[in-house]
């Protein structure tokens, strides 16, 4: 355990993989008030390259950005350099007692360096692992705000099973087991379990935060009314819509990927995933996703 001092604002986007966290991350990253790890700063471990982050704001058009510019990154190498590459606990839940003062200092220094070089007052990051590290991050950054992006579980399962890296993904919920060794129905159940555990650990961590430091964004609402959701999010963070963010939202061209599980998953897969996720899903208003068998 350690003591820490707040420096400047920090915002962490959390949520299960394939829930729309990247979409919100990239939209917010177009705002000049944010400083964020880029593909360049993460690859080189040189925060000074964040001085070039502005190129992303002006190249962003719709759902993708132009080549040859830095893009918002999860910052895996940067976080590993600060916290140390860990086994076991680092792939699961990371609490405040799992981080010492030196690691906390390195993490704050990393965030401060990105703020300084990109001239953004608020450090912004989306990293899938951070969903399980809210307690640790909250201790390191006492001023941090956490934005939890939620998406209907069966659509998340459908999306997870469709990506190339899913079968080789070491699941923290299964002590590192990779889904590819299981049947298609079992994989759907494992993906439903992942969604459930990610949502539960994020919400459980949120109960230990001040109410103004945590809020939720629904992926479905982000797709339906992107400007309203982004404007609301910025307002919660004390920011107003910038010209570059307005342009990014206005040019958004994301397919309405809702209900894809109906065509991508068999009824057996839908049933297996829903059986695992149904209780948590209903608690978050996703009861209508129950498949018709």
Does some domain include residue 167?
yes
Determine the pLDDT at residue 288: 57
Determine the pLDDT at residue 251: 86
Show the domain range for 102.
Answer: 10-284
- Sequential pLDDT tens for the chain (293 residues): 333 333 459 999 999 999 999 999 999 999 999 999 999 999 999 999 999 999 998 776 544 446 689 999 999 999 999 998 765 444 678 899 999 999 999 999 999 999 999 999 999 999 999 999 999 999 999 999 999 999 999 999 999 999 999 999 999 999 899 999 999 999 999 999 999 999 999 999 999 999 999 999 999 999 999 999 999 999 999 999 999 999 999 988 776 667 889 999 999 999 999 999 999 999 999 985 545 54
Does some domain include residue 2?
no
Does some domain include residue 203?
yes
Q: How many domains does the chain have?
A: 1
- The single residue listed with the structure tokens 């912004």 is 124
Does some domain include residue 290?
no
Answer for the pair 41, 154: CB distance below 8 angstroms, yes or no: no
Q: In what order do the strands lie in the sheet with 214-218?
A: 34-35, 122-126, 10-14, 145-150, 214-218
Determine the pLDDT at residue 160: 98
Determine the pLDDT at residue 71: 95
Does some domain include residue 291?
no
Residue closest to 141 by CA, chosen among 274, 7, 293: 7
Does some domain include residue 293?
no
Determine the pLDDT at residue 257: 66
Determine the pLDDT at residue 60: 64
Does some domain include residue 292?
no
Report pLDDT digits (tens) over 57-104.
Answer: 877 654 444 668 999 999 999 999 999 876 544 467 889 999 999 999
Does some domain include residue 195?
yes
Backbone angles phi, psi at 146, to 5 degrees: -115, 125
Per-position DSSP letters for the chain, written without gaps between them: -------S-EEEEE--TTSSHHHHHHHHTTSTTEE--BHHHHHHT-GGGGGGTHHHHHH-BTTB--TTS--B---HHHHHHHH---SGGGGS---GGGS-HHHHHHHHHHHHHHHHHHT-SEEEEE-GGGGG-HHHHHHH-TT-EEEEEE--HHHHHHHHHHSTTGGG--BGGGTTB-GGGS-HHHHHHHHHHHHHHHHHHHHHHHTTS-GGGEEEEEHHHHHHSHHHHHHHHHHHTT----HHHHHHHHT-------STHHHHS-HHHHHHHHHHHHHHHHHTT-GGG----
Residue 260 sits in a domain whose CATH number is 3.40.50.300
């Amino acid at each position: 355990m350690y003591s820490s001092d707040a420096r400047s604002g920090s915002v962490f986007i959390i949520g299960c993989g394939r829930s729309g966290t990247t979409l919100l991350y990239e939209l917010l990253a177009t705002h000049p008030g944010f400083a964020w790890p880029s593909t360049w700063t993460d690859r080189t471990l040189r925060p000074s390259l964040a001085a070039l982050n502005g190129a992303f704001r002006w190249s962003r058009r719709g759902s993708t950005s132009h080549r040859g510019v830095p893009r918002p990154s999860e910052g895996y190498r940067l976080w590993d350099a600060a916290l140390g590459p860990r086994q076991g606990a680092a792939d699961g839940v990371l609490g405040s007692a799992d981080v010492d003062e030196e690691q906390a200092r390195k993490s704050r220094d990393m965030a401060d360096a990105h703020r300084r070089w990109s001239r953004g007052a608020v450090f912004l990051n989306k990293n899938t692992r951070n969903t399980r590290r809210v307690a640790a991050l909250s201790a390191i950054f006492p001023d941090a705000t956490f934005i939890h992006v939620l998406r209907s579980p069966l659509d998340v399962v459908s999306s997870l099973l469709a990506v190339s890296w899913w079968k080789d993904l070491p699941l923290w919920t299964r002590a590192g087991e990779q889904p590819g060794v299981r049947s298609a129905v079992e994989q759907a159940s494992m993906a439903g379990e992942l969604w459930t555990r990610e949502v539960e650990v994020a919400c459980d961590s949120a109960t230990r935060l001040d109410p103004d430091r945590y809020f939720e964004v629904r992926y479905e609402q982000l797709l339906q009314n992107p400007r309203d959701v982004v404007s609301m999010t910025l307002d919660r963070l004390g920011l107003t819509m910038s010209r570059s963010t307005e342009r990014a939202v206005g040019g958004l061209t994301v397919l309405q990927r809702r209900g894809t599980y109906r065509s991508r998953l068999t009824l057996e897969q839908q049933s297996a995933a829903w059986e695992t996720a149904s209780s948590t899903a209903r608690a978050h208003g996703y009861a209508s996703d129950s498949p018709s068998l």
